[in-house]
Copies of this chain bind each other. A is one copy, B any other.
């Protein structure tokens, strides 16, 4: 039984790795789409989202079958349950990347972001690129240290997110109301990508250490807006 479990669990873990890589790609391309008004990058993210959705679906199916047939307990059960949650988190991250890409496509050939907001969004994009790399490697190596880095670094993204409000509320801001809506919502999506990465990282810490991340006093990752 044990051998089969490990073999089947390996297949699910491979799918989850693939999903993380697909999400990284979606994040990177959506940031390119947004920052460089690259409509092909945008389209690629939009077209690729259904593959991410299908992977989630397949992973959930495999996990339910594993639960039914193998009755995993202890660490194995923790891994299966966490895998289901990770798959759903990644699916949502794919949606958020798609939202960024859709905004880039909608405003093309104009940029969805005003020039004065570009430095902040570039910093957020850089942050997300590093975060996406960490997400893939923490998962491939089940590395709690990298997971901790993701968790601890999220404050930086929150700080950048708050600066976007300062920017659009400043006396000298000259953007239109549509510009303001874009800045507010797109920054929000990027900040939510960070929250989901933190949630995924907590899951990996749980797998590795057995410490349940849902037992943390604060469940909402340092933001007062969803």
Contacts and interface: CB of A to CB of B under 8 A. Distances in A.
Contacts of A74: 68
Interface string A71-99: 11110011001001100100100011011
B226 A99 contact: yes
A181 interface: yes
A137 to B, nearest CB: 25
Interface in A117-168: 165, 168
Given A68-B73, A81-B64, A184-B184, A226 B177 contact: no
A179 B74 CA distance: 51
A51 interface: no
A214 B68 contact: no
Q: What interface size band does chain A fall in?
A: 35 or more
A169 B178 CA distance: 7
A224 B165 contact: no
A15 interface: no
A67 B81 contact: yes
Interface in A188-213: 188-189, 192, 212
A226 B188 contact: yes
Interface stretch (A3-11, A23-31, A32-40, A52-60): A52-60
28 contacts: A57-B212, A57-B215, A60-B214, A61-B212, A64-B77, A64-B78, A67-B77, A67-B81, A68-B71, A68-B72, A68-B73, A68-B74, A71-B71, A81-B84, A84-B84, A91-B219, A95-B220, A96-B226, A98-B220, A99-B224, A99-B226, A102-B224, A168-B177, A169-B178, A180-B181, A181-B184, A185-B188, A188-B188
Interface of A: 53, 56-57, 60-61, 64, 67-68, 71-74, 77-78, 81, 84-85, 88, 91, 95-96, 98-99, 102, 165, 168-169, 173, 177-178, 180-181, 184-185, 188-189, 192, 212, 214-215, 219-220, 224-226
